[in-house]
Amino acid sequence: MKQGCAHSMQARNASLYALTEDTELIEKVRELSLRPKPDGKYREDIDKYFKQLRMEVNAQIDAVQAKMKEKADKLWDYDEYILQQYSALSAKEELKRALMEESTGLEDISVRVKEILEKVLRNQNEAKEKLESCFAQLALQESAIDFEAPKRI
Q: Encode burial over 67-101: b for 16+ CB neighbours within 10 A, e otherwise.
A: ebeeeeeeeeebeeeeeeeeeebbbeebeeebeee
Among the listed residues 141, 140, 147, the one whose alpha carbon sits nearest the alpha carbon of residue 73: 141
pLDDT of residue 48: 96
Give the best-scoring range by mean pLDDT among 18-22, 91-95, 149-153: 91-95
Identify the domain containing residue 11 by its residue range.
Answer: 1-37
> Residues 80-103: what's their mean pLDDT?
88
Structural domains counted in the chain: 2
**Torsional class of 69: left (φ above 0), alpha (ψ -120 to 50), beta (otherwise):** alpha
Q: pLDDT tens, 45-86?
A: 999 999 999 999 999 999 999 999 998 888 888 899 999 999
Assigned domain for 32 exists: yes
Asked, for residue 17, whether it belongs to a domain, the answer is yes
Grade residue 1 by pLDDT with cuts at 50, 70 and 90: very low
CA distance 115 to 118: 5
> What average pLDDT does this structure show over 78-105?
88
- Residue 57: inside a domain: no
